[in-house]
Structure 1
Amino acid sequence: MHHQSKSYRSSLAILTALFFIWGLITSLNDILVPHLKALFSLNYIQASLIQFCFFFAYFVMSYPAGKIVSKAGYKMGIIFGLLVAACGCALFYPAASMRSYPIFLISLFVLASGLTLLQVSANPFVNSLGSPETAASRLNLTQAFNSLGTTIGPMLGGIFILSSVILTSDQLAALSPQDVQGYLAQEAASVQSPYLVLTAILIAIAIVIGFCRLPKLADEKQSSTSKASHSLWQHKHLIFGVVGIFAYVGAEVSIGSYLINFMQNPAIAGLTALDASQHLALYWGGAMIGRFIGSYVMTRIPANKLLAFNAAIIILLLLSAIFFAGHFGMWAVLSIGLFNSIMFPTIFSLALNKMGSLTGRASGLLCMGIVGGALMPMVQAAIADRFSLLISFTVPVICYLYIAWFGMSGYKTASKN
């Protein structure tokens, strides 16, 4: 028994490192958006394709990932996911060398496909490492380190990717052809090196996990009949939860994607790209701190009420930023991360309430709601291009209005459940 416990601890330590890298890679998208927007002279709609390609992979690849895991097992699913993600990171090298925005987008889709497989494999694996009574504690631990990764990611990305000054088209026209080529090569290298390092780290983790004797886990076999699949749609609180996940991920990604451009706006704070990227870490750091605070508060306040309260506070913060702008608006938006922290797991758990034997299939359906991270930034981008970036923050306001409703009413299960 002692040997098994030690094995679980070592396995959990490895997976915790995996969650950290996972969060770091995801948060680097918020650095890529302003960097590639400036480098390729993109409008907000074109720049939003970065998040679209990344999060659309979750929608496209969730079902195939589930089939792979069901046949190969969790361990092989994690290893395969790491290797696919490593391929996506490696593709950044030719994308930067050729200075091709489409290849960057393909690289992001491949990278996110690997992370989707990790999402399907690692979460249930961590949940099963040890006794059921401590499962929530283990998941909170790994998710906290995921948040640590999203906090550190923007700081490192800002240093290595956004440290140089992006030249305008007029400034480039004033340079000699040799200087232009040197400048473009320098900007390409700023993206290549960090992602090559991530490629090596992902391959190294895959090798370590390959040699580790991770415990075999017993999967619950569920019926795949059309009747079981059809019955999912009879649970209104589950469907409302899918929309809730869509709204939350869409709002979170939208805010994170345009927060650097938001802070660079002279009407807000007029920060440089590098300074703004360092401030972005506060947004994600707040989510990490809020996760610890929220886990304690939920022992005294019902989860649905805390969800509705946090959504209401975020709505007030966003409206304050829109109407008052300036440094106050910057700090109002940065503080949203603190209140975002508990939303994803809370919506997820409320939507799965009383699903019984359909819980596994319901979880897969909820994961498809992550596609909100692909679509909502594009909606906000369209408004930013048509009106202004400040006005475009009304999009996440609408998302949080829905989440507040879900916390007050939409989470309730039907009496027959």
Structure 2
Amino acid sequence: MQPTLPLKKNNKIHDQKGWLFPFILITSLFFFWGFVHNIDPILIAHLRKTFQLSILQSSLVDSAVFIAYFLMAIPAGLIMKKYGYRSGIIIGLLFFACGAFLFVPAANTHTYGFFLGALFIIACGLAILETAANPYAIVLGPAETAAFRLNLAQSFNGLAAFIAPLVGRWLILTDSDKTDAAISALSGDALAAFIQTETNSVKLPFVLLGIVILIMAIIFYYTPLPDIKEEESLGSNGFIDALKHTQLQWAVIAQFFYVGAQVCVGSFFLVFAATAAGLTDKEAATYTAFYGAAFMIGRFAGTFFMKYIAPVKLLGLYAAINILLSFIAIYGSGMMTIYSLIGIAFFMSIMFPTIFALGIKGLGNATKPASSLIIMSIVGGALLPPILGIISDKTGSIQNGYFIPFICFIVVLVFAIKMRTIKNDSSN
């Protein structure tokens, strides 16, 4: 695979001494945004209990995060085009830190909407970071190992998927054993005290996260990084021209449904575990860490397998397996369903970076707008979870809601099959 940007001839970025440290620095960003996305399931379960929300209402956590990707994707691409990748990364980190610090007033005001606003600002930063970091990881090194390198960087996103639930279990989830009925019966000072205790628990982890992100912004500001620039294009490299590429059209569709599937499966894991297997929140949080570990191991394993199996073939195989596992999650019972979700995490681990790399492969000067459009398609994570919530609330079973990821993995399978038929757009 050769999804790379045309670089100026005097750019030494392909010399290992020139790109290795920048690649390490860029890889750290994959961990940080992975941490946020994988703390969301803890937040959903915690805020759902605190504010007594329906599944549909609690899905707005995901909507707040992923609608930001839709709104910021094109502006992020324009920022990168005007100021470059390095400046874009610093801007993204500042948004990230600001949103993290806003969790303090959100907790103090006991307002669910304030939490959603803070998450939205964090996600604006993440959208900028992902628009910059994904293509940056691709070009920081030899073109022939681009997909391998992106999957390696994304593996640290998987590491965050393992660590974040453990942090959430110990720092966010409280020891309150109140049932929904008991909470509903509270009123006046008792209810206010309960909400205060529950909301206060989110302050420390997000303040610490904000401080770390500010430190990262300072490091990026003072660290010399290769400046990736495009050669002047003979034609337009705008969004409309980029969408003329069939591979990009399919990648945008596939990424929309894949991200929707990932968010649906992961974000409602704790709620699913309590309903389908009768686990407590803290027990479910432990299994969420196993879920994250499976995702992390899947990333590293997928990176290894891609040395021997074409990425497009591996993507198709994994999508087919996840269709079967989704079926088990819907119709199974007890711990069988939990293990099926953990299996889904393993097999969907390579999907985002692989779809991304296949989508921008060989697009040259259209790579930046193409990257923005694929990031924009992450809005699937905002639109599909509420549909899962509606189905779950209407039918009284969250398992029925998992028909949404079942359908999403079918779309990913179709994408993998289609990519093998598009000339020069995928490796067979």
Alignment pair present for 1:390 and 2:402: no
More off after superposition, 5-14 vs 248-257: 5-14
Contact persistence 1:85–1:110 (CA under 8 A) = yes
Aligned to 1:346: 354
Question: Per-residue deviation at 1:184?
Answer: 2.5
In structure 1, what residue type is equivalent to 2:70?
Answer: F
Change (3 A) 1:199 1:231: closer
Alignment coverage as a number of residue pairs: 413
- What does 1:117-156 correspond to in 2, within 5 Å? 117-133=128-144, 135-156=146-167
Contact persistence 1:61–1:113 (CA under 8 A) = yes
Change (3 A) 1:43 1:358: same
Contact persistence 2:361–2:425 (CA under 8 A) = no
| Aligned counterpart for 2:387 among listed residues 372, 376, 379 | 379
Contact persistence 1:315–1:401 (CA under 8 A) = yes
Distance (Å, rounded) in 2 between the aligned partners of 1:189 and 1:263: 25
Distance (Å, rounded) in 1 between the aligned partners of 2:235 and 2:68: 24
Question: Per-residue deviation at 1:356?
Answer: 4.7
Aligned to 2:112: 101
Change (3 A) 1:330 1:11: same
Contact persistence 2:101–2:206 (CA under 8 A) = yes
Question: Per-residue deviation at 1:9?
Answer: 3.7
Alignment pair present for 1:38 and 2:46: no
In structure 2, what residue type is equivalent to 1:261?
Answer: V
Change (3 A) 1:264 1:169: closer
- What does 1:244-283 correspond to in 2, within 5 Å? 244-265=254-275, 268-283=276-291
| Aligned counterpart for 1:406 among listed residues 415, 418, 421 | 415
Change (3 A) 1:173 1:400: closer
Distance (Å, rounded) in 1 between the aligned partners of 2:102 and 2:235: 37
- What does 1:150-229 correspond to in 2, within 5 Å? 150-165=161-176, 167-168=178-179, 170-172=181-183, 177-222=188-233, 225=236, 229=239
Distance (Å, rounded) in 1 between the aligned partners of 2:266 and 2:86: 32
Structure 2 unmatched runs, 5+: 1-11
Contact persistence 2:147–2:353 (CA under 8 A) = no
More off after superposition, 278-287 vs 239-248: 278-287
Distance (Å, rounded) in 2 between the aligned partners of 1:216 and 1:352: 20
Alignment pair present for 1:24 and 2:35: yes
Aligned to 1:12: 23
Change (3 A) 1:306 1:384: same
Question: Per-residue deviation at 1:353?
Answer: 4.3
Aligned to 1:235: 245
Contact persistence 1:237–1:412 (CA under 8 A) = no
Other structure's SS at 2:202 match: helix
Alignment pair present for 1:311 and 2:319: yes
Contact persistence 1:39–1:166 (CA under 8 A) = no
- What does 1:285-304 correspond to in 2, within 5 Å? 285-304=293-312
Distance (Å, rounded) in 1 between the aligned partners of 2:134 and 2:203: 30
Aligned to 2:4: none
Q: Which has the higher relative contact order, 1 or 2, with Cα contacts under 8 A spaced 6 or more apart?
A: 2
Distance (Å, rounded) in 2 between the aligned partners of 1:407 and 1:9: 31
Change (3 A) 1:415 1:63: closer
Distance (Å, rounded) in 2 between the aligned partners of 1:365 and 1:134: 23
What's the TM-score, normalizing by structure 1?
A: 0.91
Change (3 A) 1:88 1:269: same
More off after superposition, 142-151 vs 14-23: 14-23
- What does 1:80-91 correspond to in 2, within 5 Å? 80-91=91-102
Question: Per-residue deviation at 1:304?
Answer: 2.6
More off after superposition, 301-310 vs 112-121: 301-310
Question: Per-residue deviation at 1:222?
Answer: 4.0
Identical counterparts, % of pairs: 38
In structure 1, what residue type is equivalent to 2:373?
Answer: L
- What does 1:333-372 correspond to in 2, within 5 Å? 333-353=341-361, 355-372=363-380
Distance (Å, rounded) in 1 between the aligned partners of 2:67 and 2:235: 25
Deviations 1:270-294 (A, max 9, x none): 1110111111122222122122222
Contact persistence 1:353–1:413 (CA under 8 A) = no
Aligned to 2:5: none
Distance (Å, rounded) in 2 between the aligned partners of 1:173 and 1:376: 29
Contact persistence 2:328–2:340 (CA under 8 A) = yes
Contact persistence 2:252–2:373 (CA under 8 A) = yes
Question: Per-residue deviation at 1:179?
Answer: 4.5
Distance (Å, rounded) in 2 between the aligned partners of 1:211 and 1:288: 31
Distance (Å, rounded) in 1 between the aligned partners of 2:198 and 2:407: 37
Deviations 1:318-345 (A, max 9, x none): 1122222111111111111110012112
Other structure's SS at 2:225 match: coil
Change (3 A) 1:109 1:229: closer
What's the TM-score, normalizing by structure 2?
A: 0.88
More off after superposition, 290-299 vs 165-174: 165-174
Aligned to 1:92: 103
Distance (Å, rounded) in 2 between the aligned partners of 1:346 and 1:173: 45
Question: Per-residue deviation at 1:299?
Answer: 3.4
Contact persistence 2:81–2:368 (CA under 8 A) = no
In structure 1, what residue type is equivalent to 2:358?
Answer: L
Two-structure CA RMSD over aligned residues (Å): 2.6
In structure 1, what residue type is equivalent to 2:416?
Answer: G
Structure 1 unmatched runs, 5+: none
Contact persistence 1:350–1:411 (CA under 8 A) = no
Question: Per-residue deviation at 1:316?
Answer: 1.0
